[in-house]
Structure 1
């Protein structure tokens, strides 16, 4: 194995061959042959953090690998491992003992609460003039939805009048768009 280091004899960055490994590395400069000991780079400690993955009505206990020094923030997109399955998830809450901070160092986290974002179920309220019909549409989390565009869900054609986002705002202006995993509810008018 070869690494690039500063050689005290050459007074330059040169390629060194690793001769022996123990607590540190014994390396030899390939230019002048000088031997020196250098400390090994520490591999970051990897933690498996307990993660609750929610997908509409169900939840599973899974895990997410993070380096101990990593910082996690609400709305981060990570990959949760659930046995042989892996899911793209968004962090919705961080648990550090009895506290729920907005961000935390991985070594302080006791659990992450997440929701899947790869495949989501979008809730739709379609108004037909007299009543409102609740409909559910399963779609890819990155599927675009645009105010003013027409869609079909459960055999019902509708035009989106506004979009309610998970993080609060209501999108009413024609042409405004977002993706499925950010939507709390779609409101539409039946055609």
Structure 2
């Protein structure tokens, strides 16, 4: 820990929560240790201070058509990679974000860098995501296909061959197009075999066949 006196920090409490972190207030610091008090039970104990301060890096979080800016602290010597996921707290929101690009200088982007060399980390919110879906009618008339957007947790799974229901929309998943920066985690960029599964946060587009109980209408 590296917080200052009066600040709050998450720590395990040896009195009431030895296995889970609770909020503690920093009472004093000195001699490489901090005296902290658990805000749940009031227990006071000592914790070692970090020898090195963390590296604060600006983070831009994109969520649908909006962007938010926050700061994330990395450990000294830590390497930041494209694809890393972490929690970012901004004035507008707290989001689980995935690194999509790392900026180390003006117009200089890379897929990995030491935290000390990073100017800005560009990310996409993946805790809750919007997924575009194209639904084809059962008669195969592609000109009558319709598009919709569903909102699901990032870890929601779309499986080829499975039926999905969102409100009045019902369809069988026939294929999934994977996002470019997630292709390495799957067999192919486009999946269409029964049983192929993709996390919603990795989906570029889902394709399905209409299973709605109501008659198909292009209107």
Larger Rg: 1
Closer, same or farther in 2 for the Cα pair 1:135/1:42, shift >3 Å?
A: closer
RMSD: 2.1
Unaligned residue ranges in structure 1 (runs of 5+): 1-20, 25-39
Give the match for residue 173 of structure 1. 193
Q: Deviations over 1:28-86 (max 9, x none)?
A: xxxxxxxxxxxx99622212211110111111111211123110000001111113742
Aligned counterparts of 1:135 and 1:91: Cα–Cα separation in 2: 26
Q: TM-score, normalised by structure 1?
A: 0.75
2:207 to 184, 187, 190: 187
2:161 to 148, 151, 174: 148
- How does 1:2-151 map onto structure 2 within 5 Å? 43-83=51-91, 85-98=93-106, 99-128=108-137, 129-130=140-141, 131-151=144-164
- Contact 1:159-1:189 within 8 A present in 2 as well: yes
Aligned counterparts of 1:41 and 1:179: Cα–Cα separation in 2: 39
Unaligned residue ranges in structure 2 (runs of 5+): 1-29, 33-47, 184-188, 212-219
What is the Cα deviation at residue 154 of structure 1?
4.9
Q: Which moved more, 1:78-87 or 1:176-185?
A: 78-87
1:162 correspondence with 2:170: no
Runs of 4+ in 1 over 4 A off after TM superposition: none
Q: Deviations over 1:61-116 (max 9, x none)?
A: 11211123110000001111113742111000000003111100001000011011
Closer, same or farther in 2 for the Cα pair 1:141/1:42, shift >3 Å?
A: closer
Aligned counterparts of 2:92 and 2:151: Cα–Cα separation in 1: 23
- Contact 1:56-1:121 within 8 A present in 2 as well: yes
- Secondary structure at the aligned position of 1:45 is classed as coil
